[in-house]
Amino acid sequence: MQDSPSQAPRTGRPALILASSSRYRRELLERLRIPFETAVPAIDETPHPGETPEATALRLAAAKARAVAAALPAGASRALVIGSDQVATFDGRQIGKPGTHERALEQLQAMRGRDVLFHSALSVLDTATGQTDTVDVVTKVRFRDLPDAALDAYLRAETPYDCAGSAKAEGLGIALLEAIESDDPTALIGLPLIALTRMLLAAGYPLLETQA
């Protein structure tokens, strides 16, 4: 894996580019054991006024893929560019990355004992055709009703300040959750792999074929 897009791998498969700076998405994509590169998309991630959480997530996932595809050099070999974005919401409000301990604690206090929806949008852009496939995978999470001291202890142990909703389900954050309902277990972490593998196979990417 390389840090920036260059050219298609010598296997003959199209280049695979993850349009994200997230280490969580990178680690998830590594589970597929396929070569890929990463590139950071330069886009404004501010939600539009009146935009639904689903619309925000889908728009940003597609925008990330388009931004990275547009930055590829002229004449570059075919690539599949993966964009992803996640928006958490409850009571009709969008919940972003807290950034600080204080804001994370406020998020967890507001969500305890409540159901929260996580919209994990995925977009795959084929640079050969310009076609984009997008999907929104929704995960319903019920948070436990825990005291402030427990929430504070969790935040100090795991510092999940770069995670929407302030809880890492793949780590200690699972202790904050009462239940998770989803068709794709990796969606909550940030990259829905069931949806992604379906989209890559539909685009002709040989996920399970031995390459010479």
The CATH code that applies to domain 15-202 is 3.90.950.10
Residues 6+ apart with CB under 8 A from 53: 87, 88, 89, 94, 117, 119
pLDDT digits (tens, 9 = 90+) for 84-142: 999 999 887 888 889 999 999 999 999 999 999 999 999 999 999 999 999 999 999 99
Has 85 been annotated as catalytic?
Answer: yes
pLDDT digits (tens, 9 = 90+) for 26-54: 999 999 999 999 999 988 888 888 889 89
As a whole number of angstroms, the distance between CA 115 and CA 89 comes to 9
As a whole number of angstroms, the distance between CA 65 and CA 45 comes to 13
Q: Spot the catalytic one: 3, 44, 85, 145.
A: 85
Average pLDDT (5-27) is 76
Token pair for residue 117? Answer: 């929806």
Apex 186 CA angle, 55 and 179, nearest 5: 90
Q: 7 pLDDT band (50/70/90 cuts)?
A: very low
